[in-house]
Structure 1
């Protein structure tokens, strides 16, 4: 290609490997939740799949993260303070 038209993928800074573009080596730090950590690690599976297979992995991970967040909403938390327990200072 010409100097005006970069090679496909070059603009993203993603090197091409034997199986196509390689994913950048992004370090993943543990979240402290083993289920979330396993889902995030599952994203690495796309490196071994054709592009057509990526959506299945992404949908699986997205669904798992959505379930995890929904479970947080379902957990009982501390009771909400009652309005009578609030005191207001009306001094100006």
Structure 2
């Protein structure tokens, strides 16, 4: 995660989140939550995936892990947050 200086465009590191690299990231309209979708290769079953949910600290911009939902033997192709922020929709391979 980086903070962007609006006047210069400079990036300042805020936080490094451990784990796999997400293929999709979506922020809720409230800007209080971030969802990250993963699509990984598994040697036994092919693609596997998950969606992680994080709370965004409004003061620092850091992420706090909330939970993970498995995509059950399917990779994440896309994800989006509903306009009301109450649902995350995931398209699988």
Greater strand fraction, Structure 1 or Structure 2: 2
- TM-score in same-fold range (> 0.5): no
TM-score between both structures, scaled by the size of structure 1: 0.23
Work out which structure has the larger RCO, using CA pairs closer than 8 Å and 6 or more positions apart in sequence. Answer: 2
Which is higher, the Rg of structure 1 or of structure 2? 1
Query: When the two structures are superposed, what TM-score results if normalisation uses the length of structure 2?
Result: 0.23
Q: Which protein is richer in helix relative to its size?
A: 1
